Amino acid sequence: MIYDYCVIGGGIVGLATARSILRRYPGASLILLEKEPAIGLHQTGRNSGVIHSGVYYQPGSLKAALCARGLVATKQYCIEHGIPFEQRGKLIVATSEEELGRLDALAERAKANGISAQLIDAAQMREREPNVAGIAALHIPSTSIVDYGHVLRSLSAEVAKLGGTVRLSSEVRHVSELPDEVWLRLADADEIRSRHLVACAGLFADRLAVASGLTIQHQIVPFRGEFFELPARLRSIVTAMVYPVPDPALPFLGIHVTPTMRGTVMLGPNAVLAFAREGYRKTDVSLRDIATYAAFPGFWRTIVAHLGSGVSEMMNSLSRRRYLAACQRYVPSLQVEDLTPARAGVRAQAVSSDGTLVHDFLFQQTPRMLHVLNAPSPAATAALPIAEMIADRLEPRRDRGAA
Ligand SMILES: Cc1cc2nc3c(=O)[nH]c(=O)nc-3n(C[C@H](O)[C@H](O)[C@H](O)COP(=O)(O)OP(=O)(O)OC[C@H]3O[C@@H](n4cnc5c(N)ncnc54)[C@H](O)[C@@H]3O)c2cc1C
């Protein structure tokens, strides 16, 4: 048989895309292929669970627009599907005079992005969060938390209800684009034919793009985000999410304190170069993955450009005391014995051949394929509008039924 649509990847971007396509084009046949035996085992199932407001992103960028829409859409989706979320709000805390300028710049950016945010002084901050120290903060009331695993299960159920097929343990190895259809070869040698393909392969987005015959100017470099969980007695140490002022050169937000929907409080994530794309433990090494990025000139350029922060993140990863010191700057009462290692995640971060970290979402489209090439944070927040945008870009019915 030939499907109308094939989606690769059972993370939030792939499942939301499958849902949007099926809602937009009722009656279309769709198969979603996921290489793992379950959905959401990678970025989506290992993130911080924050529904971001979109303060940080360059006005006019896809991230800024899709995050702002995603905040509203995700909450609405949760309400409609009975998925709990909590609007806890967020504080970005400046702890030095030097950070005040950057905090002001973030307040300006929030304004440019149409996000309600308020600069508050140390006393106002302490009133909100007595355990947080700093000299000023930006308060963003709309930031919320959710369990993205819950969202994912709901999306998957909807895809099935709308007539789509989610096929697990189905790794796509090779894709051939023909004038009228796309052929996919799976690891088990099975073949799938589809009129249209959308690839949402996260940490493998670049490898799959190349296996589909695309020429790309970037590569995915994996950055592990390590988390610690605080003990039950510290579950009310913060009510909101508490973030440091980020380095504007980096797409990472800095180690933050986040309450979760499980009732726990997490510290993290840091951002350490991983030695495997799915390298969740420090000891995980894939020679193939290392060889791929080591042979890419952009990787070395970005390493040189961000040497200071890269070394610092690596040291934070190796020393729990250093990691703690980063958090104590704004939550001073935390102690090293409060930190229990928790499940890590790995971010898929696209790096261009000139060494720049690709900040914005990135897509590449051919007549029959659309590849999502860079969908880092806040892509969990933005997944629903990303999916709508992808559905807009697909040409649906022109040739359905022709083959
Ligand atoms: C530590 C961490 C914290 C984060 N915190 C937040 C946050 O708080 N809020 C937020 O909005 N975002 C956050 N993000 C980012 C967010 O989680 C990701 O942007 C989002 O989950 C990306 O979704 P995805 O579907 O593109 O990728 P994934 O969830 O990684 O899914 C891709 C899927 O494709 C499958 N796949 C890959 N190759 C193939 C193949 N060849 N054949 C078949 N299947 C394949 C994989 O197995 C995987 O299941 C965080 C990310 C990390 C790592």
pLDDT of 307-322, one tens digit each? 888 888 888 888 899 9
For position 400, what pLDDT does the model report?
Answer: 46
Quick count: other Cβ atoms within 10 Å of Cβ 150? 18
Express each pLDDT in 136-184 by its tens digit: 999 999 999 999 999 999 999 999 999 999 999 999 999 999 999 999 9
Atom index in ligand 1 nearest the CA of residue 186 equals 42
Classify residue 357 by its DSSP letter. B
From 8, 35, 47, 386, mutation site for ligand 1 pocket: most ligand atoms within 8 A of C-beta: 47
Q: CA–CA separation, 379 vs 91, rounded Å? A: 21
From 33, 39, 42, 143, mutation site for ligand 1 pocket: most ligand atoms within 8 A of C-beta: 42
Q: CA–CA separation, 179 vs 93, rounded Å? A: 54
Distances (CA, A) of 210 to 174, 218, 360, 369: 9, 11, 20, 13
From 7, 42, 43, 171, mutation site for ligand 1 pocket: most ligand atoms within 8 A of C-beta: 43
Q: CA–CA separation, 365 vs 263, rounded Å? A: 41
Q: CA–CA separation, 332 vs 335, rounded Å? A: 8
Q: Which residues are near ligand 1 (CB < 6 Å)?
A: 8-14, 33-36, 41-44, 46-50, 52, 171-172, 200-204, 208, 225, 269, 345-347, 375-381
For position 254, what pLDDT does the model report?
Answer: 85
Q: How much distance in Å is there from the Cα of 379 to the middle of ligand 1?
A: 8
Express each pLDDT in 6-21 by its tens digit: 999 999 999 999 999 9
- Of 114, 113, 103, 101, nearest in space to 137 by CA: 103
